[in-house]
């Protein structure tokens, strides 16, 4: 029976699983499949469906999870699951299982990306072995980083997406005051993620009085997730409220990416990951992201030397989880 390594990217909206060959390493996922997380009671339930008709010996597994890893357990952000390492090891027949924060997994992918798996967004002067920051707006907002240990880049997770939102403009200050009336704490995730895009849209509609066309209202009412509709309409320029929503999102994303670059002294660059940036490339290539990134007063000059990239690998989380697992098989 052929041996395969199981890797997964576990998110609040989607769970992606893939099998990797030990011979080929983490370079290529042999069999990939995506599941809607909320339609299943647990990760084990998804694995059961995924492996049902596959005749392989699973020799190990590694999962990037959207949520903090505490001990050997992870509670998935924006989902009711608890992912338990011991339970997974028992379910998979006792093989070694790695649980990673999803940004730990994506960060593990960065040193292994091929040149055609990322694009330069803002040119700069990356310093070899310099610190690297990763920021990933998806369902939530993840942040991670890589530090050179003398031989390799070591990835580290963080919960930077849950730090306090700091407005940069009068409009953003209005947004903060509005959000503060709703939530006890307004984090960057509340305004810079898939969930955040919906919050920005509602703010512009309810507080700023932007018009919502009837056809758009109907589409949003029918949708389980309004974010893809808002982004698509903005890209087509079909409704001003969507255009302004995504402009506000891109500005905040640029600002927080700049914050991360300063916090880490990220001379190795900043990488945008997650599902949203690569889907709205025309918007993040515009001036608003760059303005938000560079608007750091006395340190703007330093940030002009920090390159910014967008990861275009469609399954960087799974790929990174596999990289980590296959490099730590023993």
- Provide the mean pLDDT of the chain: 93
The verdict on residue 87 lying in a domain is: yes
pTM of the model: 0.91
- List the structure tokens of 46: 């998804």
Is the domain of 298 the same as that of 194?
A: yes
Calculate mean pLDDT across residues 95-120: 94
Calculate mean pLDDT across residues 295-310: 96
Count CA atoms within 13 Å of residue 119 on its CB side: 12
The verdict on residue 226 lying in a domain is: yes
| Structural domain containing residue 45 | 3-110+315-326
Q: What percent of the chain has pLDDT over 90?
A: 83
Alpha-carbon distances of 215 from 98, 219, 239, rounded to whole Å: 46, 6, 10
Can you list the positions of beta strands (E) in 123-248?
A: 132-137, 141-148, 153-158
The verdict on residue 45 lying in a domain is: yes
Is the domain of 82 the same as that of 165?
A: no
Does residue 157 register a pLDDT over 80? yes
Does residue 118 register a pLDDT over 90? yes
**What pLDDT, on a 0 to 100 scale, did the predictor assign at position 30?**
84
Is the domain of 105 the same as that of 183?
A: no
Is the domain of 201 the same as that of 254?
A: yes
**What pLDDT, on a 0 to 100 scale, did the predictor assign at position 79?**
84
Total domain count for the chain? 2
Is the domain of 104 the same as that of 176?
A: no
Give the CATH number, domain containing residue 200: 3.40.367.20
Over the stretch 3-53, which tens digit does the pLDDT of each residue have?
899 999 998 888 999 999 877 666 678 889 999 999 999 999 999 999 998
| b/e sequence 256-294, b meaning 16+ C-beta within 10 Å | bbbbbbeebebbbbbbbbbbbbbebeebbebebbbebbb
Is the domain of 223 the same as that of 275?
A: yes
**What pLDDT, on a 0 to 100 scale, did the predictor assign at position 22?**
74
Is the domain of 221 the same as that of 288?
A: yes
Is the domain of 95 the same as that of 197?
A: no
Is the domain of 169 the same as that of 105?
A: no
Calculate mean pLDDT across residues 126-138: 96
Over the stretch 224-238, which tens digit does the pLDDT of each residue have?
899 999 999 999 999
Does residue 77 register a pLDDT over 80? no
In this structure, the strands spanning 82-84 and 73-75 are: antiparallel
Is the domain of 99 the same as that of 175?
A: no
Is the domain of 322 the same as that of 287?
A: no
Is the domain of 203 the same as that of 249?
A: yes
The verdict on residue 267 lying in a domain is: yes
């Amino acid at each position: 029976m052929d041996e395969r390594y199981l890797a997964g990217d576990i998110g609040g909206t989607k769970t992606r699983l893939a099998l990797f060959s030990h011979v080929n390493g983490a370079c290529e996922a042999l069999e990939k499949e995506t599941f809607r997380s909320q339609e299943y009671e647990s990760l084990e339930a998804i694995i059961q469906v995924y492996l049902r008709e596959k005749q392989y010996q699973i020799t190990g597994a590694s999962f990037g999870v959207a949520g903090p890893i505490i001990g050997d357990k992870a509670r998935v952000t924006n989902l009711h699951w608890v992912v338990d390492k011991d339970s997974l090891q028992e379910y998979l027949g006792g093989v070694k299982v790695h649980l990673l924060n999803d940004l730990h997994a994506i960060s593990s992918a960065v040193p292994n990306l091929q040149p055609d798996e990322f694009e330069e967004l803002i040119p700069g002067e990356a310093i070899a072995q310099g610190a690297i920051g990763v920021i990933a707006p998806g369902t939530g907002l993840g942040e991670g980083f890589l530090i050179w240990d003398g031989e390799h880049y070591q990835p580290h997770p963080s919960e930077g997406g849950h730090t306090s939102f700091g407005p940069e403009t009068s409009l953003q200050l209005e947004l903060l005051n509005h959000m503060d009336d709703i939530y006890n704490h307004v984090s960057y995730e509340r305004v810079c993620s898939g969930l955040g895009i919906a919050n920005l849209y509602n703010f512009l509609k309810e507080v700023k009085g932007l018009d919502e066309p009837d056809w758009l209202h109907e589409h949003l009412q029918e949708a389980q997730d309004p974010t893809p509709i808002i982004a698509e309409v903005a890209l087509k320029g079909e409704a001003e409220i969507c255009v302004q929503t995504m402009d506000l999102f891109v500005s905040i994303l640029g600002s927080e990416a700049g914050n991360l670059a300063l916090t880490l002294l990220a001379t190795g660059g900043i990488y945008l990951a997650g599902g949203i940036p690569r889907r709205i490339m025309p918007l993040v290539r515009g001036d608003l992201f760059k303005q938000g990134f560079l608007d750091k007063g006395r340190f703007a000059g330093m940030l002009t030397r920090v390159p910014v990239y967008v990861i275009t690998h469609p399954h960087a989380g799974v790929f990174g989880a596999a990289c980590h697992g296959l490099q730590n098989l023993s």
